[in-house]
């Protein structure tokens, strides 16, 4: 579903069940403010990402996800439809994502943008032979179009599952980067596990630019080759850049990192070209739920915080974070999850500062706080009926030998329009190449709404 994996790859269509001899057409019918149009990507096209179709202040695009790059090799492909709306700053923000499997028919859908006071109606499908197998993409002109649409409550489930992982470091001079350069896949053993989520979020612990020099005051500076962003973005739709390695090669390099990740298809947060952008959330819709992600750094280097005229990360100032949360709440966010990079390395328990900040974030309106940085998993708690996980530990990271550093958590958060309804944790163990694999012998925290505390999950089979 990422743009970088869905362009110039026509040969992968041979992997699609039922499309052995021909790639599928993708067709959409759209209606905005009484005006109708169509979007078509013919089977002969080399492009599996349709590009933008603009209708008024909306934009729609389709993407076709294929195994084995985006999904496990034995998975079924699917078609994704993304709808964007023009924001007050004239930029476009995603407001709806729909994902359908074979036979790739969305049905008639309606997306409403409250600020615009208008809606976009669409119907999309992908078929091998449009002439004989395509769904009817044009509504009956004698029928009321509004009456033909399902009400929003019936279109979407209002529930989504989001997977959060800890530090992902793919440095080109580290074992993880060398594995990728040799054609390996550090995520191979966890792809199936992560495919259970509707959205996957990571901390991208590295530069991905080509400019600048390593920070002379730091013992380690990490740079990811831009070719490695494709497999990363194929799995993780969103990534926090609020960490202590984002600025390893300076501010110009950081801007290049932002551009490279976004071009690869990963939405970034926790950093930006100026303070306003650094504090700008990522808002992603899944199954009718608007999920808002905010990222902050609370560890050196303090100087790399974004400042007027200077790119950088969002620093975890409780007052500024409170304003950020209030702003997204006022804009209609369903769920707000904060991802801080904080705490002391190798400490198994959160310190007092982490606890004060986490509770302040919940008091400000966050639905969950899921942290990282210490390179070990830390403790967790329920505060005001909201989950706090202080550290997920490492996820893709080499150079460690102690078992505590080789253990990471994947937190699956079940989300509805009122917040986080459940937490389930899967444990991974990291090998010498920095690659994670499920570890069914260990458990992490689980919780369901209404329970006063988190408790250890039941053991689950490896995948």
Closest CA to 334 of 260, 250, 418, 252: 418
Taking 90 as the threshold, does the pLDDT of residue 337 lie above it?
yes
Check residues 255 and 71 and name the one with the higher pLDDT.
Answer: 255
Across 257-262, average pLDDT: 96
Report yes or no: 408 and 166 within 8 Å, Cβ to Cβ. yes
Q: Find out whether 363 and 391 touch, Cβ atoms under 8 Å.
A: no
Confidence bin at 389 (pLDDT 50/70/90):
very high
* pLDDT at position 392 over 90: yes
pTM of the entire structure? 0.69
> What's residue 112's pLDDT?
73
Alpha carbon distance, N-terminus to C-terminus of the chain? 22
The domains of the chain are located at: 3-154, 159-456
Q: What is the pLDDT of residue 239?
A: 98
Q: Tell me the average pLDDT across 280-284.
A: 94
**Window from 93-107, 255-269, 302-316 with minimum mean pLDDT:** 93-107
Least confident of 9-18, 76-85, 183-192: 9-18
What is the Cα–Cα distance from 253 to 211, expressed in whole angstroms?
Answer: 5
Predicted confidence at residue 136, as pLDDT, reads: 34
Residue 151: other Cβ atoms inside 10 A:
7
pLDDT of residue 453 exceeding 50, the answer is: yes
Mean pLDDT of 223-232: 95
- Which tops the pLDDT comparison, 83 or 12? 83
Architecture of domain 159-456: 4-Layer Sandwich (3.60)
**At 301, is the pLDDT very low, low, confident or very high (cuts 50, 70, 90)?**
confident
Residue 99 has pLDDT above 70, yes or no: yes
Neighbours of 123 (CB within 10 A): 22
| pLDDT tens, position by position, 340-355 | 999 999 999 999 999 9
Q: What is the DSSP string of 113-181?
A: ETTTTEEEEEEEEEES-HHHH----S--TTS-TGGGSPPHHHH--SEEEEEEEEEE--BTTSHHHHHHH
Query: Is it the case that residue 325 has pLDDT exceeding 70?
Result: yes
Mean pLDDT over 239-259 rounds to 96
Q: How many residues does the chain have?
A: 463
Confidence of residue 113 (pLDDT cuts 50, 70, 90): low
Q: Is 141 a residue whose pLDDT tops 80?
A: no
The CA distance from 323 to 276, in Å, is 12
- The whole-number pLDDT of residue 145 equals 22
- If you average pLDDT over residues 197-213, what whole number do you get? 95
**Structure tokens that stand for 25 in this block:** 């057409």
Distance, in Å, from the CA atom of 259 to the CA atom of 352, rounded to the nearest integer, reads 36
């Amino acid at each position: 579903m990422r743009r970088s994996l869905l362009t110039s790859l026509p040969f992968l269509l041979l992997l699609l069940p039922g499309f052995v001899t021909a790639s599928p057409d993708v067709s959409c019918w759209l209606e905005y403010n009484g005006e109708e149009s169509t979007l078509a990507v013919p089977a002969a096209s080399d492009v599996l990402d349709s590009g933008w179709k603009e209708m008024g202040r909306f934009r729609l695009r389709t993407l076709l996800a294929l195994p084995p790059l985006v999904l496990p090799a034995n998975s079924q492909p699917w078609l994704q439809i993304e709808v964007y709306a023009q924001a007050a700053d004239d930029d476009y923000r995603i407001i709806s994502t729909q994902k359908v499997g074979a036979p790739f028919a969305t049905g008639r859908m309606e997306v409403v943008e409250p600020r615009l006071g208008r809606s976009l109606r669409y119907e999309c499908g992908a078929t091998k032979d449009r002439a004989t197998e395509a769904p009817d993409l044009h509504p009956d002109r004698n029928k009321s179009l509004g009456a033909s649409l399902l009400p929003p409550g019936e279109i979407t489930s209002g529930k989504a599952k989001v997977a959060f992982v800890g530090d992902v470091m793919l440095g080109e001079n580290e074992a993880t980067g060398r594995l990728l350069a040799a054609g390996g896949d550090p995520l191979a053993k966890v792809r199936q596990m992560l495919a259970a989520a509707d959205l996957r979020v990571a901390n991208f612990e590295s530069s991905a630019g080509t400019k600048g020099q390593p920070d002379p005051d730091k013992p380690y500076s990490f740079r990811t080759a831009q070719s490695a962003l494709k497999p990363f973005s194929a799995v993780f739709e969103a990534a926090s850049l609020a960490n202590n390695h984002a600025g390893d090669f300076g501010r110009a390099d950081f801007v290049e990192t932002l551009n490279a990740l976004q071009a690869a298809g990963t939405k970034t947060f926790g950093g930006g070209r100026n303070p306003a952008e650094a504090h700008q959330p990522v808002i992603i819709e899944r199954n009718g739920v608007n999920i808002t992600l905010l990222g902050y750094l609370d560890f050196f280097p303090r100087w790399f915080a974004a400042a007027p005229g200077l790119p950088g990360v969002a620093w975890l100032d409780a007052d500024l974070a409170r304003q950020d949360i209030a702003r997204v709440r006022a804009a209609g966010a369903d769920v707000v999850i904060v991802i801080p990079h904080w705490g002391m390395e190798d400490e198994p328990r959160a310190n007092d500062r982490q606890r004060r900040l986490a509770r302040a974030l919940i008091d400000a309106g966050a639905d969950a706080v899921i942290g990282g940085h210490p390179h070990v998993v830390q403790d967790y708690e329920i505060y005001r009926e909201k989950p706090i996980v202080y550290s997920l530990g490492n996820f893709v990271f080499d150079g460690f030998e102690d078992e505590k550093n080789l253990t990471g958590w994947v937190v699956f958060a079940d989300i509805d329009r009122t917040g986080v309804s459940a937490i389930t944790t899967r444990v991974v163990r990291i090998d010498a190449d920095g690659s994670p694999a499920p570890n069914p012998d260990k458990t992490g925290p689980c919780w369901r709404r209404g329970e006063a505390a988190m408790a250890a999950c039941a053991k689950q089979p490896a995948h």
